[in-house]
Amino acid sequence: MSPLRQALADYLAVRRALGHKLVRAQKLLTQCITYLEDRGEDHLTIETAMAWATLPSSAHPSWQSFRLSIVRRFAVYFHSIVPATQVPPVGLIPGRSRRATPYLYSDKEIAALIAMTVTLSTPHRQATYRTLIGLLAVTGMRVGEAISLDHHDFDGRNGVITIRNGKFGKSRELPLHPSTVAALNGYLSRSDRPRLRPSTAALLVSPAGTRLHYSNVRSTFHKLTCRAGLTPRSAECRPRLHDLRHGFAVNTILDGYRDGSDSGSRMAVLSTYLGHVDPGLTYWYLSAAPELLKLAADRFERHLGGRA
């Protein structure tokens, strides 16, 4: 193993020990090191980092800036090993990172997505995506958490799913509605469930009996959105898998406002349920739905009671 690749392995190990998953970072940094090796270089320079980060030249500046930021973090670490390593300055490629506008699915749109699973190749694959979409919609778990679930993580008797080693290594238990428990039991008891590979204990499985891969899930979901007739609402608001999580969070908060319950306590429970390490991350969902903002404003108006 070359010194560069060994340094990358050590860097990833250190940061993962701190709770970072770094799936995308590992992929990008591996590509960057291959680029360095192809140029016959054994350490990083600002010139080379810029040349790699701006590939392809047609990419959006925000993406190029993100690529450079990934390399910069690694360069800071590698500089302590190879002092000749140059660390790219912050802001070398201007790029404002913007969160995508959440696509908040209506109940009708979720039903349409689930209905379109009948267009998939096999009955079991259809059942797998029906179950996955439904599970994401009613629990708000992350996609990666859903496809990482093992069979024993589902406790049908007590109606609980356990998320193990979620983001930042945290685990949590999610109580389920009886209808969700029934749907999962039905999925697991199907007679056409593929025989699992010896190394797989996955809850949701592919037709080959293996764990679902995120890239395949994302591609299939995109096909289902097209077949269901879901189109972007703007350049920044497109139907995404992750938006099922946004929808769950927003609907939970909306229900709290509508029934007059204490929004603060509900937000705290929701933050725990979603697996957020910082409740402030949950409050970001307040800005995702105009209806939610209106209900919050109406409650504030009532609280003021005409004193303003």
Catalytic, 187? Answer no
Per annotation, catalytic residue among 72, 142, 211, 246: 142
Per annotation, catalytic residue among 11, 187, 273, 285: 285
Per annotation, catalytic residue among 242, 257, 266, 283: 242
- H or E element, residue 174: strand 172-175
Catalytic, 142? Answer yes
Q: Which burial class, exposed, middle or buried, applies to 238 when counting CB atoms under 10 A from its CB (0-12, 13-18, 19+)?
A: middle
Nearest alpha-carbon partner for 176 in 210, 213, 138, 149 = 138
Per annotation, catalytic residue among 67, 72, 130, 276: 276
* Residue 128 and residue 212 in contact, taking contact as beta carbons nearer than 8 Å: yes
Per annotation, catalytic residue among 5, 20, 73, 167: 167
Q: How far is CA 145 from CA 23, 123, 159, 235, 241, in A?
A: 14, 24, 18, 28, 13
| Backbone φ and ψ of 155, nearest 5° | -105, 95
Catalytic, 245? Answer yes
Alpha-helix runs per DSSP H in the chain: 3-17, 23-38, 46-53, 61-79, 107-115, 123-139, 143-147, 178-188, 214-227, 243-258, 263-274, 279-283, 290-304
* Residue 292 and residue 254 in contact, taking contact as beta carbons nearer than 8 Å: yes
Within 8 A by CB and 6+ apart from 68, the residues are 49, 50, 53, 88, 92, 93
Catalytic, 167? Answer yes
* Residue 242 and residue 222 in contact, taking contact as beta carbons nearer than 8 Å: no
Per annotation, catalytic residue among 67, 130, 211, 245: 245
Catalytic, 242? Answer yes
* Residue 37 and residue 2 in contact, taking contact as beta carbons nearer than 8 Å: yes
Residues carrying an active site annotation: 142, 167, 242, 245, 276, 285
